[in-house]
Amino acid sequence: MRAFLRRLPLLALVGILLAAALSTGLPFLYYLVYLGAMVIGGSYLVTRYGLADLEAGYAMDRVQAHVGDQLRATYTLRSGSRLPKLWLEIHNPSSLPVPLPGRAISLGPRGERSWVARVPLRRRGHFRVDPLVVRTGDPFGFFEATAAVGHGQTVIVYPRLEPIPRWRLHAVSLEGSRSLPVRTQQTTPLATTIRPYAPGDAFNRIHWRTTARTGEIQVKEFDLEQTADVWLVLDLQGAVQAGRGDEATIEVAVRAAAAIAERAIEENRAVAITTNGAHHANLPPDRGPRQRQKILRLLAAVEGDGGTPLVETVVAVLPTLRRGMSAVIVTPSVDPAWVRPLASLRSRGVGCQVVWLDQGAFLARLAEAEGTAADRATVARIEALAQGARTLRHALAELDLRAYPVPPAVPLAEVLAG
């Protein structure tokens, strides 16, 4: 319909010329009619065969990346026609924060062109890259032809992983709460080595395959469970978020959760995560690269749009925490109500740490950037948040819970070093 409306003035002009030529019989008007027919017919043929015998394709170097990485797409066009391709427009529609740049080119007879487009990945999320679109038309803009090439792809941009080498989980007084392999006389899931049988060894520790192969009785040796499970609680309630862009509380909280999960998985810990966004998510404890991938996929998609208060999420998670676990709560909330349910953790042998994002500092930084730092409503809200932060710190100190205040624009390695 849009193409017809674009051609409507042209069709009206041709109709008027044709009617005038037939009614007056002037040779000049017939000349204009013939010229218009040749121009329109030629334009149609140029457009009609503009995409004939044309091969096009693209390839991206990655479909999974982290914020700060660069996405590279390689494009190739090849013409098998003996006629030149005067004008071709190539672009990839996408939802990426920085779109893939298009290009207009021409191809000679049996010509080929290749080029590389690079875009920075500045925001985490799940993004769609649609099939490649190749468009051509005539020099006058009367007609155009479009073709879609290939299939769409999803590009997942994970949050940036910041190393936190000095981060240590709160140790509880249980075997397995520290990452120290120690030999044990007990049978554990960690069978590490074998040795010759010694008097007093239990028969259920004999490794029968090795015994059959060597002809001597060999027994298994076990290590203590090297690490305790970690349960992350990420607060995504929309009402407690502050800031904007890469330095918003939601982004810093996601980076902190990703860094802690990465550190725990490197220590061979089983990691679980619970979020209270608009769509509640709960990943059960697991370890290894597969769990790392699940956590990063989840953190790439979360937003600070939840309506459930943190206290309800904490109360729901507490029954799932078993003895020997370590709970890590990441939140910008200053409401001390979510601290009270944590009082029972120590008696149950569950360690707990809090990564608290200073909501008032994030709001003050945003107000300074926008020039509204002197606004009365902003000043009042910052003062109220400061008072709430003092109350929260007092509540955490009463329970002897370790808290790490996170201000804006400070690397996590420095904040989580102590």
For 11-35, how does the pLDDT look when each residue is reduced to its tens digit (9 = 90+)? 676 677 677 767 777 777 777 777 7
More confident residue, 282 or 39: 282
How confident is the model at residue 190, as a pLDDT?
Answer: 55
Residue 188 has pLDDT above 60, yes or no: no
105 near 90, Cβ under 8 Å?
Answer: yes
DSSP run (H or E) holding 223? strand 218-223
On the question of a common fold for 54-158 and 230-415, the answer reads: no
Instruction: Tell the CATH topology of 54-158.
Output: Immunoglobulin-like (2.60.40)
Distance of CA 107 to the CA centre of its chain: 38
CA distance 311 to 338: 4
How confident is the model at residue 126, as a pLDDT?
Answer: 94
Domain 230-415 has CATH 3.40.718.10: no
How confident is the model at residue 227, as a pLDDT?
Answer: 53
Q: What residues does each domain of the chain span? A: 54-158, 183-223, 230-415
Alpha helices in 239-375 (DSSP H): 249-266, 289-301, 310-317, 359-370
How confident is the model at residue 11, as a pLDDT?
Answer: 67
Residue 182 has pLDDT above 80, yes or no: no
Tens-place pLDDT, residues 245-259: 888 999 999 999 999
Residue 303 identity:
E
How confident is the model at residue 228, as a pLDDT?
Answer: 64
Tens-place pLDDT, residues 367-402: 888 887 778 888 899 999 999 999 999 999 999 898
CA distance 40 to 315: 73
